[in-house]
Chain A
Amino acid sequence: MGDTELELSPAQLEELQQSPSASSNSSTSSLSLPSSPSSGTRPLTSSSPSTSEGLPTSSPPLDVISEGVGELSLVIDTEVAKKACQEVLQKVKFLKADGEVSSASSEPVLVNGTAHPESTDGGKPPKISQEEAEPVKNVRRRQKNNSSKQSWLLRLFESKLFDISMAISYLYNSKEPGVQAYIGNRLFSFRNEEVDFYLPQLLNMYIHMDEDVGDAIKPYVVYRCRQSINFSLQCAWLLGAYSSDMHISTQRHSRGTKLRKLILSDELKPSSQRIRREVPQPPPSCPPPLHHGQGMSEHSLSPSKRTHQRSKSDATVSISLSSNLKRTASNPKVETSQDEDLSSSSDSLTLEAGTPVRLTPQREFIKSLMGIGKRLATLPTKEQKTQRLISELSLLNHKLPARVWLPTAAFDHHVVRVPHTQAVVLNSKDKAPYLIYVEVLECENFETSSVPVRIPETRIRSTRSVENLPDCGITPDQRASSFSTVPNYDNDDEAWSVDDIGELQVELPEIHTNSYDNISQFSVDSITSQESKEPIFIAAGDIRRRLSEQLAHTPTTFKRDPEDPSAVALKEPWQEKVRRIREGSPYGHLPNWRLLSVIVKCGDDLRQELLAYQVLKQLQIIWEQERVPLWIKPYKILVISSDSGMIEPVVNAVSIHQVKKQSQLLLLDYFRQEHGDYNTEEFLTAQRNFVQSCAGYCLICYLLQVKDRHNGNILLDSEGHIIHIDFGFILSSSPRNLGFETSAFKLTSEFVDVMGGLDGDMFNYYKMLMLQGLIAARKHMEKVIQIVEIMQQGSQLPCFHGSSTIRNLKERFHMNLTEEQLQVLVEQMVDGSMRSITTKLYDGFQYLTNGIM
């Protein structure tokens, strides 16, 4: 099959990719091809066995869904889609009858049979390749034919090259319900992670585009919601956030709001549970009525078999889930006493109708975090905020561990503890974003694995308390006779008090075995035989020297500043912090212990951040693909509503503002302080990192028109990379529209100095990287544009202000320029940015208004 695809010339493919809407007009007939007319004549069960074998695991259980949701009067439009496809089918039949006399009926089957598995990670053995030779030829022969064009589209859809990005693009651009329905089905065949990346796009289309698109998307969303709590919540949050720009009256009745309600009502539990109770044996095994007569869509049929297997395991999952609910329910709600009742009652309830308990813990957890943010915002000073934050988090700690997790993490886990004293309030004028560290235990699956048992804070100490007392004499007999005097165990000093201080030495970091502490250790040892020992003499100068040496040896830390509490916390190397927190944690000894961090933002709209993340991620993938060594760090964004969310912090990075304020050095000198002098390997590595990241972000800033680039929004990590954060002003929006920052991107002379000056090799390397990056990005422009374009639908975000956002974005890719011209352009931009007084002006402005250096 791989061969056949190669026969599609790249040019043709590109044509197809770039003009999906153009081709979609006539794509009706081609679409119907997979569901071949011949299958109608054949018994369903005999549809090639290979099809079902090679099917993807994520295949669509359309029938199951419609069955499950049918009662909820949420008709999923498989039927509509089918009808549409059927009509199309008829047309094709006619066409075929007209055009080709022979093989017309068998072709599509083959195409279908072979192509489908291809779309699924190539799980299909290649033996069918001979069979397809013929259809391919046919296809080629018919190139000029009208119908052949559609089959090209089909071929594209069926081909390996058809990826999720294209699917989204066609879904968005095609006006044809058949195509949309087809792609809706095809979504099932992509890997979850692939689709997840485009979830904002999918949901935004669902909310803001016409019925047909929504109908095409819904089955997939519902299916995934059933499978995953995390997906359910993400969907609900995104739906809420992207619906928020609608007028309030329409919003209430919009599809997005309805779907959101459905998800939050937690009706979308793994459907298996119901099936399992009602029908002991798999219901979908008998072909559902939908399919009879016309094997309309094998896409929907064959997957159903898989679904069934899945649902069985889901059933067991839900059983174990319900047994775990006890812990689950007693989650961050601050009331404790009622929780027990709730959980015990939910135990019995889960077997009956649905209880919203599946999503509850996580929602409550998020709600608590947001509530803290809201309350912090009311406090006037950073210091009060920090104290309040710590105290609120310590309360939150009481409800942990629970079946809650950080959605920004890349692995499944349960949150067990929030080391509350480590949390810091971040710099922000009126909002109160804060950074928390979260201890988690990695687990196989956060929905099914059992929630870890709580370990009290004090358990880090070795416990030797009354539990271990020989016998406290509380047996009934002794109680009765307790008039008699029993020797008091309070004499047993050992039993009561643990020599905590004495044990400290064991827990101390390694410095303690360092040579210069030997004297103090020695002194401890010497106590036992002090009489016989010769007196030990030490020089006062040594003590003084050790003191200054030790202070000098500690890694450069920032000074605590009550007005900027986050600086110290962020400067501490991540590994160091992990080690320190692990030592202090009662859960630290567990092998699956991990530390995560997250920034909680309350009162901020993160939808633009999410958009920026998607673009950055896409560009990162593109550059990686094209082997351009640009370095950028897209950080994950979780949109919870239109004014709240979470951000994955960049570890080991502090803002350039903090660097300059704390160190009082020029950037280059700071580099030398941190990484060593010029020509040391460390410095050169850091410098290269700086250049690669700087080039990457310059391009990003240019393409996305990222504004508000003051030094507080640019981070410097411990390896020398710069990282831009805060994409609050991108595309068509800029801060206060003051017209500052007219340059393409921010490039100060300090940056250039770090790169080795204007004439240095590294600076040329920087410009070359920019050029390469721009060329690579241009090559895949569509993938980038698409992300932005779809999100523009129905959006009131400032970044889409005006009508020319997308056009301007496209222009910045300069499709019409030759590479030489591009090179000139890059030179111009670099020159312009460097000379730009506005950058300097803007920094000055920020310094005056916000105290950012």
Chain B
Amino acid sequence: MAQTEKKAGLLRRTSSSKKPLKEKVVLMYDEIFAKEDPTKNNPRFWDELFLMKVNLEYLEGKLESLDGDEVMKIKDNINSLFHHCVQALGEEHQIKVVNALQTLCALFRGVHQKNKSATGFDIINMLMGFDKAELRMKELMESLDSLLCGDGSESLKSLCLKLLLYMVIIQNTILEYVMINSIFEAILQILSDVSSRAQHGYDAVVLLALLVNYRKYESVNPYIVKLSIVDDEPTLDGMGMVIHHALTEYNRQYKDKEEENQGGFFSTLTSMVGSMFIADADEKLSVQTNEAILLALYEAVHLNRNFITVLAQSHPEIDMATTPATPVPASPTTPLSTTPPSLDMMNNPELPLDPNLQTSNLLITFLKYSSIVMQDTKDEHRLNSARLCLIILTCIAEDQYADAFLHDDNMNFRVNLHRMPMRHRKKAADKNIPSRPLVCAVLDLMVEFIITHMMKEFPMDLYVRCIQIIHKLICYQKKCRVRMHYTWRELWSALINLLKFLLSNETILLAKHNIFQLALQVVNLFNMFITYGDTFLPTPSSYDELYYEIIRMHQVFDNLYCMVLRVSTNAGQWKEPASKVTHALVNVRAIINHFNPKIESYAAVNHISQLSEDQVLEVVRSNYDTLTLKLQDGLDQFERYSEQPREAGFFKELVRSISLNVRKNVSLSTMSQDVLLKEFSSIS
């Protein structure tokens, strides 16, 4: 549903009806904002109030218009209003409950809008009063909990979640009460139940992600603890499905847009590398809103080890386009308030019978999503998303179970990663992607990232993560002797090109980044292949090819060596990191120095000016035995990912931006009063 329209409609209606005479509810609001106790004239004031249709705009507007002093004057009345709202939540009469919920939402919104600069305690005092706050919040949370868990109407639950989201995005000490009075179980219940998941899953997952991130570094957050120990599969699966859906929806929207663009104006400009999306504001916004889902995915993967199985839980890719009736949200900025439309497809326990559906799983969808997000890291939100994607991949690559299914030879998938259109390469024919173990798709994604981001605004941090992921995967392969039939050559040449880029942009990059760290990582990846290739390379000839590639590109390694040698001999901040690279290069240099003369002499003997690949390989093969390599230590060791302290700042920023976004997008008026009334008249 397009709420913007709704909102407008609602406004128009109320404003037009307001002119001739004031609604009763508005009069009653006025009474509250008067300084006297409204029950003085009418003892049944509160009972009546919640029977009235709520006028959110008026109430919010009223709250916002108050200045500090006025607020203090009518504090008792507002406290009382809050108190009665909470009490009304326990009412049997659903109309009262709905009205109370909406009133509460308006209170939080209004007070918060009003009091942006003020400290949290003021809000608490204004709404509940310091002395009663703890009790009130306890009551409120208990009511919300039972409403969410009860078998009441779905709109009611939806309202409850909205209210909770308001409380969360206020980023205020009110949240402490949400910490004390956990509604974690209620969220889980929503996720585990098929029908409620379909309707509220998205909100629930976002809420959970935000709750988990509340003061996660400063205090004990019970939601973190609880999330980490969930082992109920239906629940975890439900969470996975919600995430899967949101990501799939994004992928689909992207694809639609891409096709649209290709057909029209942009088709002539496809050579304009990647810039085509920048102009597209909506596109960026939709990335932004998905950060919340991405954060939820991260927390699930990072905190809960059982969630890893959900990643591999495959189900057919649900094609949104085929679902009838439910319109796609008009603008992608509002998915928070409308749950992704075709979520109800998940209701269907039997898998759909469409032969065209490709089987997919959360991991595949996530990889596709990542491939889209990583295409363009120029703006802040996309950069953050790309970073988060890489962090999630890092966590996945470190997990043994995840590695096991990534490398499972029996689980083959075609993963259509999105590739940036580039001048020097054609858009690969998607259809020809072979079905391979998932790790190949991960490696492809990494290679793709490496070759497409060598630019002035060098995303150093992302590169480091990217190389780390590759390293972790290779460590697993070495330890478990998994021999992937992957075209390693593409990876090698991408890595060498990266080194080349670092070399040619040394001065610019060095001003901002420690390029030696990245260079060291890359060189050490080569060292992994050189010294441990026997444990994970698929064929002997792939080992030969490695040597061939190194020899072919020896210029790059030579130049790198010169550079690091130069830097390490000079005193300065880069002396030490540069010298590390010097040491790491020993084997590569040994290979080059060993084989190059051999190849030259072979060419001389055979009078060939340009050796073919086969000839070089022949020379390589026959000269292994005279080459001695130095065994380097710790090649297969890596530092495990830890969020704290390194990533803490990033996540804080991320949560802030997500909250802002949620705040912008959560809209109360999604549910028109008519709908509610209709629903409740049939219930009660």
Contacts and interface: CB of A to CB of B under 8 A. Distances in A.
Interface stretch (A26-34, A98-106, A490-498, A625-633): A490-498
B118 to A, nearest CB: 18
Contacts of A422: 410
B29 interface: no
B412 to A, nearest CB: 7
8 contacts: A375-B351, A375-B353, A391-B316, A482-B176, A484-B219, A486-B220, A488-B216, A519-B631
Given A465-B229, A543-B543, A538 B359 contact: no
B306 interface: yes
Interface in A369-420: 371, 375, 378-380, 383-384, 386-388, 390-392, 394-395, 398
A461 B305 CA distance: 10
Given A388-B316, A456-B309, A461-B401, A337 B234 contact: yes
A569 B410 CA distance: 9
B644 A490 contact: yes
B487 interface: no
Secondary structure type dominating chain A contacts: helix
Contacts of B408: 421
Given A395-B315, A538-B629, A383 B543 contact: no
Contacts of B305: 458, 461, 463, 465, 498
A508 interface: yes
B295 to A, nearest CB: 16
B644 A539 contact: no
A562 interface: yes
A478 interface: yes
A512 B480 CA distance: 9
A489 B480 contact: no
A544 interface: yes
Secondary structure type dominating chain B contacts: mixed
Contacts of A562: 412, 435
A288 interface: no
Given A478-B220, A501-B476, A539 B627 contact: yes
B233 interface: yes
Interface stretch (B254-262, B530-538, B566-574, B601-609): B530-538
Contact of B629 (A380, A456, A486, A540): A540
A456 B307 CA distance: 11
Nearest to A554: B483
B636 A520 contact: yes
Given A375-B353, A482-B220, A485-B219, A390 B411 contact: yes
B650 interface: no
Nearest to B347: A335
Contacts of B225: 466, 469, 472, 474
B636 A378 contact: no
B45 interface: no
Contacts of A538: 531, 628-631
Interface in A504-528: 504-505, 508, 511-512, 517, 519-520, 523-524, 526-527
B193 interface: yes
Contacts of B234: 336-337, 398
B220 A474 contact: yes
Contacts of B532: 520, 543
B400 A503 contact: yes
B636 A524 contact: yes
A530 interface: yes
B384 interface: no
B398 A394 contact: no
B194 interface: yes
A530 B634 contact: yes
A371 B508 CA distance: 62
A483 B400 contact: no
Contacts of B531: 538, 543
Contacts of A537: 628-631
A493 B359 contact: no
B179 interface: yes
B194 A337 contact: yes
A483 B215 CA distance: 11
B222 interface: yes
A487 B36 CA distance: 47
A499 B640 contact: yes
Given A390-B410, A546-B534, A467 B229 contact: yes
B635 to A, nearest CB: 7
B572 to A, nearest CB: 24
B359 A504 contact: no
Nearest to B638: A501
B479 A501 contact: yes
A537 B643 CA distance: 38
Nearest to A388: B359
Interface in B330-368: 349-351, 353, 355, 358-359, 361
A526 B633 contact: yes
A458 B309 contact: yes
Contacts of A395: 313, 315, 351
A15 interface: no
Nearest to A481: B180
B98 to A, nearest CB: 26
Interface of B: 134, 173, 176, 179-180, 192-194, 216-220, 222, 224-225, 228-229, 231, 233-234, 237, 305-306, 308-309, 312-316, 349-351, 353, 355, 358-359, 361, 398-401, 403-405, 408-413, 435, 472, 475-476, 478-481, 483, 530-535, 537, 539-540, 543-544, 591, 621, 624-638, 640-644
A530 B632 CA distance: 10
A505 B475 CA distance: 12
A379 B218 contact: no
A49 interface: no
Contacts of A469: 225
Contact of B480 (A466, A508, A540): A508
A87 interface: no
B337 to A, nearest CB: 26
Given A337-B234, A395-B315, A480 B631 contact: no
Closest 7 CB pairs of A and B: A391-B314, A500-B400, A541-B624, A541-B625, A547-B534, A387-B359, A334-B349
B400 A544 contact: no
A585 to B, nearest CB: 12
A493 B398 contact: no
A398 B404 CA distance: 19
A812 interface: no
A508 B479 contact: yes
Contact of B351 (A392, A457, A547): A392
Contacts of B478: 520
A421 B222 contact: no
Contacts of B192: 337
Contact of B180 (A383, A384, A391, A482): A482
A374 to B, nearest CB: 9
Given A466-B225, A539-B627, 17 more contacts: A333-B349, A390-B359, A392-B351, A398-B233, A456-B233, A457-B309, A482-B176, A482-B180, A489-B220, A493-B640, A497-B640, A497-B642, A501-B398, A519-B631, A526-B633, A537-B628, A538-B629
A523 B637 CA distance: 10
Contact of B628 (A474, A497, A540): A540
Interface in A534-584: 535-541, 543-544, 546-548, 550-551, 560, 562, 569, 584
Given A500-B400, A520-B532, A551 B539 contact: yes
The residue in B359, B476, B534 that gathers the most chain A C-beta atoms within 10 A of its C-beta is B534
Nearest to A539: B628
A473 interface: yes
Contacts of B539: 547, 551
B355 A472 contact: no
A488 B218 contact: yes
Contacts of A247: none
A474 B534 contact: no
Contact of A465 (B228, B401, B534, B635): B228
Contacts of A421: 405, 408, 410-411
A371 B353 CA distance: 11
